[in-house]
Structure 1
């Protein structure tokens, strides 16, 4: 059964077409990040970035280095699109995108994580075996088939993403529409649709349809009778997100991934009319089949486990952010925070407030108040700065408060705790965060 599921030879039309679209999209993402000012605002202007804890060596290149960095990624995207030295091009882009992903958290987005996973997957898939410069250079590499695990790996990843996204929405802030009131309230200035987005009936529709779409889209795409209607729904869903929320290439990436659910002959008719259709369906275990099974199983376990790790942490993930990243908690809550840092100099016995404008960009100032890991990292940075000047200091958070979905402000970080002296618990709860008061109204 497992052998048939993973090692049946199937037509590779979907993978070949997706490679071309994928290459184009990562090219546009890279170049677009430069011209929209994302690189400037996120990586160039800030004095430093909040990297993932433990990866402190990951900091942006100086001067115009990050512009060149993204230009190179754009070039690699183009090479992926045309299938030129595909393995190298895809691997290099993956490495460079991983660097961007792990070097900054002020602009964290689950979609960036999805792109990283898709890059890792595309690295190992034979996406260059047809309609590529590699095949043109070496015709013996051409194939019109792939093993079925290539398709099911993509389908599995999408099932994980949408299922966990649906489950995460089953919480009061989504079900009582408080999230939508805050989110859509920020869109009231939109021309033509700004007032419409404030309509409560629309909020109810978005609440119900968001859960239903995430739960059902993959099963409905897998069923032949419902596939076309599911794809129509996906087009509407993702175009709405693209227009209203401006989330870059990712609605179009999601639509492109739908190609793995359609029949090879349908794909051939639209995109690859000259390509022979593979209809053999033979089951054949390659010599490396045990490696495929082992890696598939390991990857599946990791992808299933990561999004539920927050269940083993005492406080709600919406409050502490512990276990939030890499868990597909997408477009789920609006969170605002306020904080003031105070530094106590042990030598002079004097205490002063820190002017965040001297250290952080506007984007970093907007998010640091509600992100415990960034609060801790900034305290460590202040500690190091004063240590380099010959001083020992303590760092405290004063007036730290957080509001979720426009709800009441609650105390967040305990003000009497020296954050500079606290260790970071990678897989646990930080005791200096106040408990969430569920009874607050």
Structure 2
């Protein structure tokens, strides 16, 4: 049975046309990041970036280096689109995107993580076996088929993402419509639709539509009887997200995924009439069966386990942020806070505390996260310690932080008596200096 499911050869039109869409979109993402000012705000303007902890070696290139970095990414995306040196082009984009992703988190977005995962998967898929420059230059490598596992891994990956995104919304602040309300309040100044977005019925629709769409869209696309209706709803949902939340390529990438759900005959008829349709459906067991099964098992176990890890860390993830990233917890909370850092010279017998001017070291964009997120605070304390250490001083760094989640009353987030410059960061368990509340 597993051989039939994974190794039956099926028509590859869906993967070929998705490669074209995917290449165009990732090129647009890279080039758009330059022209919209994202690269400047996020990677050029700051003196240093808040990287993923453990990736301190990843820092932006000096000068205009990051503009060239993203321009090369855009070129790789275009090469993926036309299918030239496909695997090398896809690998190049993947490595550069991974670098940009892990070197900063001031602009963290679950969609950036999803793109990273998709880039890895696309690197191993035979997406340039036809309808590509590679196939034109090497006709002996041209294929009209692909093993079914190439289709299944995309569908399973999407199913995991959407399901976790739905389940994460099953909590009081979302179900009481407070989170959708806060999200729409930030968009009150939008022309034409800004006022409509403040209506209570809109918040109710967003709350329940978000839960039900994420939970049901993959099964609805898989079932032939509901597929067309699901596709129409997808168009509305993703265009709404594009207009209201302005999240770049990702609504359009989500629509591009639908080519994997329609019948192979239909996709071939719409996009690939020039290519012979493959319908032999042979089962051919490849030599790489065992390593493939091992790799896919590890991959999907990680995809299932990572979003669950916060359940094994004390405290509410909405408050502590521990286990929030890589967990498909999309647009679930708003955080605001007032945070001050104090430096104490350990060689000063008066033990005098001096407040830190944060804007001397970070940009306003970075301050927004620095005021509310424990890992940013810890990293900033480490940064301050290194700066003063270079001046021959040994300092302690203390934090007074009061944070609000979803508009609730501000509470103390960090133990003010702990020197954050002297404590380690725990990746897989709680950091005891993050104060937990039981109510």
* TM norm structure 1: 0.98
Aligned length: 437
| Pairing of 1:273-352 with structure 2 (within 5 A) | 273-348=273-348, 349-352=351-354
| Pairing of 1:32-431 with structure 2 (within 5 A) | 32-348=32-348, 349-398=351-400, 400-431=401-432
For 1:205 and 1:90, the matched residues in 2 are separated by 39
Deviations 1:98-132 (A, max 9, x none): 00000001000000000000000000000000011
Deviations 1:163-210 (A, max 9, x none): 000100000110001111211111111111111101001111111111
Structure 1 unmatched ranges of 5 or more = none
Secondary structure of residue in 2 paired with 1:421:
coil
Query: Shift in Å at residue 138 of structure 1?
Result: 0.5
For 1:335 and 1:273, the matched residues in 2 are separated by 51
Query: Shift in Å at residue 437 of structure 1?
Result: 5.1
- Partners of 1:18 and 1:257 within 8 A in 2: yes
- Partners of 1:26 and 1:77 within 8 A in 2: yes
Query: Shift in Å at residue 390 of structure 1?
Result: 0.7
Secondary structure of residue in 1 paired with 2:284:
coil
For 1:273 and 1:15, the matched residues in 2 are separated by 15
Secondary structure of residue in 2 paired with 1:419:
coil
For 2:30 and 2:412, the matched residues in 1 are separated by 39
User: Does 363-372 or 99-108 show the bigger shift?
Assistant: 363-372
For 1:205 and 1:288, the matched residues in 2 are separated by 47
For 1:418 and 1:312, the matched residues in 2 are separated by 26
Give the match for residue 11 of structure 2: 11
Query: Shift in Å at residue 250 of structure 1?
Result: 0.3
For 2:25 and 2:132, the matched residues in 1 are separated by 17
- Partners of 1:335 and 1:404 within 8 A in 2: yes
Give the match for residue 26 of structure 1: 26
For 2:322 and 2:5, the matched residues in 1 are separated by 36
For 2:10 and 2:171, the matched residues in 1 are separated by 41
Deviations 1:326-368 (A, max 9, x none): 1000111111122000000112343210001101111100111
Secondary structure of residue in 2 paired with 1:26:
helix
- Partners of 1:22 and 1:81 within 8 A in 2: yes
Secondary structure of residue in 2 paired with 1:418:
coil
- Partners of 1:337 and 1:367 within 8 A in 2: no
* TM norm structure 2: 0.98
Secondary structure of residue in 2 paired with 1:323:
coil
Secondary structure of residue in 2 paired with 1:341:
strand
Secondary structure of residue in 1 paired with 2:130:
coil
For 2:28 and 2:136, the matched residues in 1 are separated by 25
CA RMSD of aligned residues (A): 0.8
Deviations 1:396-421 (A, max 9, x none): 002x0111111111111111111111
Deviations 1:236-280 (A, max 9, x none): 100000000000000000110111001112112211111111111
Secondary structure of residue in 2 paired with 1:257:
helix
User: Does 365-374 or 160-169 show the bigger shift?
Assistant: 365-374
For 1:409 and 1:178, the matched residues in 2 are separated by 16
Secondary structure of residue in 1 paired with 2:274:
coil
- Partners of 1:337 and 1:368 within 8 A in 2: no
For 2:267 and 2:38, the matched residues in 1 are separated by 35
